[in-house]
Amino acid sequence: MSLHFKYVPVLVLAFALPASAQEHKEARPGNLIRSAKSGAWSAASTWHGGKVPGAGARVQVRAGHVVIYDAKSDAVIRFLHVAGTLSFATNQDTLLNVGLIKIQAGHDASENGFDCDVHTAVDDVKWPQPVFQVGTPTNPIDAKHTALIRLHYIEGTDKNSWPAIVCCGGRMDLHGTPMNRTWVRLGANAAKGDATVTLDQPVAGWKAGDRIIVTVTNRNYGKGGTTETRLIKQIDKTRIILDEPLAYAHLGEGDFRAEVANLSRNVTVESADPKGIRGHTMYHRGSAGSISYAEFRHLGKAGVLGRYSLHFHLCGDTMRGSSVIGASLWDSHNRWLTIHGTNYLVVRDCVGYKSLGHGFFMEDGTEVFNVLDRNLAVGAVRTKRLPKQVLPFDSNNGAGFWWANSLNTFTRNVAAENDNYGFRFEATQGSSLKLTMKVAQPDGTKRTVDIRTLPFVRFDDNEVHSSTGLYGLNLGEGVNKVGPDARHPFIVRNMKIWDTHYGFRPQVPSLRVENMVIHKVAYGVYHPNYDNHEYRNLTISQTHTEPFNRGHDDISIQYGRLTVDGLTFDGCRSGGMPLIQISDDNPTGKAETHMKNVKTINWKDNNKSKALINLGGGPRPTPSTEKGVPIYLHDWYGPGKHAQVSSMRSGEFKADPTRFKIDFPLTGNQSRVAEVKGLTFPKLLDPVDDLAPTTVITHLIPAGSASDRKLLIRGTTADNGTVTKVIVNGAEAKATRPNFAEWEIVLDQPRAQASRTPIAAHAVDAAGNVEKKAHVVRVP
């Protein structure tokens, strides 16, 4: 469990534990420099031996001691073991050059244990939780100052693990100066040669000298993207003067715009030698702490499993309350942020730029109830599979967001200029790997379930554009027709996909898509597994190859029913390809397609072979099933007068061809239409909300006057339905975003009383589901 709260050093300065025989052994001269008392790092009296640690030193901050790091030193500390509290000064510049930082209770100062599984207590002492903090949420590093941690490889150490920051059951916090937004969109078009860009809203916390990116808006398929990096020369609200003119044009008007993201933070963790042996950071089970507005650059070990820029490793629900907010993670040689076997993590407003392999990544398929909200993923590129990776089917070929278990929340995220995928759900079962796993439930129990059958908690308002490789959103290629039932479907809302090759590949069964926009792609809805699919208000524009593909593309097979209510084609020049393709084979005998409110706008194609509905323009296999897949256009010829469009190769056409006619441009050279009556537009899905909400308290902030101190509590709630209330210690919180996606409350009782009382938050939704496993925290 971890939250944001105001730290009070006296609380952790309860006692100084006696030195054990093992400590004395490790503290022999020249081996380990231990703190003698609380104090400043730069004060000789803080250290045993009366000497400030220098180059090559092995250092231990002992339990019960609070050391303030107040140095700006080029000396490289070999090893720093934080068993007490090490807190960076917030009102001055600091620089720490170090090989390894380990935050772990106890006196064991060994330089291994990166997996935190080889350390066993040698006595019965209950050690206090160690703390490594570079700013706090209520007292971040001052905007006028910087804190830089530079990770150095130390000759002779393990190149696969050093250098690093590893938190083994301790608390690690890194907090830089907040920004109101870490990324926004352009507010006006930016032309090639422009040295000034306009943002769509004012930004706070951005300043001259900051490094920014302006994302690509016109992909260069197969040749890399055109996202550009610049420094801010001058900034005034929404106007930025760049240090160099732009080399490419970037869209900044209308519905499709470039993003502008700030990569600079005043708290930074970096590798000392980006071209050499890089560093990594990780939290382990039982750890605590959060990150806000910190920068992770030049990290990640290429080709090494588990050595990522930022890694939450097998934490389960022990870090509920932790969050990563406003972080910048760029130039990574192994992912930006990995969530591995970890639940309830909140990741919001982060920027990832340039990664070998997937960027925002969930590793083993057991991760649930995490919230990824308003993050920007730019430039994840394909690389090799990692040795001994947990899920062997993952090719690691560059997704902005990648996951194998969908029972998480993805909202307001944008992926741009990623190699193979913007967003990728992949879960491929094989002979050596079964996807039936023990998965945490909202009530705290675990249930064995096929992870392919788990739908989203929520997937709303996401966007992908300018993928340099293949896909915008690939939803389930590899699941082999396995998915949730009709009462628990995948639901994708308000998705925007543009300037990619393949727009949307929906291969899961039981899917509802609402308000999707696909623009300027080669293939719109591509290689779909139409089986209990519902589309509502789908717009496909300037998509000229295959706007609405047949089932499984060239295989041309459909297993179930598809309904579409509201389908608009705008400015699509199809040539000899139809806008809507007919599937040939119907192996179940139940496949059919029902559409209504279908329209075309700016369909100025004069090709005589054009058609709204026809067989695909690629291979046209000979049907192998007796029944084809009819497409019904409801009310096409007027109220109650419906159109049945069928392939001329289908059994229903061959049984009575006289029923059908040519109706150009509705039909094409291999399709015909018959008027039918008495059709009812089918309802395929019947979603039920039987999933309880999940709540995370993210911030505890002192509020009120000195005489009547109160506590401002903030948090995040996620649910697949409508949240009606969040209750904190019996009082209802106020929603600060729709559906209590963010909320806050001020407790009436003084903090003195609150410190003796647990803070418990849970949510209730409109279906009557009550969160059984409330998030309970205590004010320290």
Each residue's pLDDT tens digit, 590-618: 999 999 999 999 998 888 889 999 998 78
Distance CA 27, CA 29 (A): 6
Distance CA 609, CA 615 (A): 12
Q: How confident is the model at residue 160 (pLDDT cuts 50, 70, 90)?
A: very high
Q: How confident is the model at residue 31 (pLDDT cuts 50, 70, 90)?
A: confident
Dump pLDDT digits (tens) for 33-52. Answer: 999 999 999 999 999 999 99
Dump pLDDT digits (tens) for 658-713. Answer: 999 999 999 999 999 999 999 999 999 999 999 999 999 999 998 877 777 889 99
* Type of residue found at 659: R
**Cα–Cα separations (whole angstroms), residue 709 to 617, 699, 728, 754:** 71, 16, 18, 10
Q: Which of 221-230, 724-733, 740-749 has the lowest mean pLDDT?
A: 221-230
What pLDDT does residue 581 have? 97
Dump pLDDT digits (tens) for 374-392. Answer: 999 999 999 999 999 999 9
Q: How confident is the model at residue 207 (pLDDT cuts 50, 70, 90)?
A: very high
Residues 6+ apart with CB under 8 A from 121: 106, 127
Distance CA 631, CA 624 (A): 18
Q: How confident is the model at residue 125 (pLDDT cuts 50, 70, 90)?
A: low
What pLDDT does residue 618 have? 81
What pLDDT does residue 748 have? 77
Give the chain's largest Cα–Cα span.
102
Distance CA 532, CA 553 (A): 17
Q: Which of 461, 474, 420, 500 is nearest to 217 (CA)?
A: 500
Dump pLDDT digits (tens) for 238-283. Answer: 999 999 999 999 999 999 999 999 999 999 999 999 999 999 999 9
Of residues 290 and 7, more confidence is placed in: 290
Distance CA 581, CA 546 (A): 8
Residues 550, 579 contacting (CB under 8 angstroms): no
Q: Which of 375, 373, 324, 317 is nearest to 344 (CA)?
A: 317
What is the share, in percent, of the chain residues with pLDDT greater than 90? 87
Is the per-residue pLDDT at 80 higher than 80? yes
Residues 616, 554 contacting (CB under 8 angstroms): yes
Average pLDDT of the segment spanning 742-753: 78
Q: Which of 87-96, 217-226, 549-558, 672-681 has the lowest mean pLDDT?
A: 217-226
Average pLDDT of the segment spanning 172-176: 99
Is the per-residue pLDDT at 15 higher than 90? no
Average pLDDT of the segment spanning 171-193: 99
Its pTM surpasses 0.85: yes
What pLDDT does residue 7 have? 39
Residue 220 has which token pair? 């260069």
Average pLDDT of the segment spanning 341-367: 99
What pLDDT does residue 117 have? 57
Residue 433 has which token pair? 């790997």
Residues 396, 418 contacting (CB under 8 angstroms): no
Distance CA 567, CA 521 (A): 16
Is the per-residue pLDDT at 653 higher than 90? yes
What pLDDT does residue 756 have? 63
What pLDDT does residue 468 have? 83
Strand partners, 632: 594, 644
Q: What is the overall mean pLDDT for the chain?
A: 93
User: Strands 94-104 and 147-151, how do they pair?
Assistant: parallel
What pLDDT does residue 3 have? 56
Core vs surface per residue 184-217: b (16+ CB within 10 A) or e: bbbbbbbeeebeebbbbeebebbeeebbbbbbbb
Is the per-residue pLDDT at 18 higher than 60? no
Is the per-residue pLDDT at 402 higher than 50? yes
Residue 104 has which token pair? 């772990």
Is the per-residue pLDDT at 23 higher than 70? no
Distance spanning both ends of the chain, measured CA to CA: 12
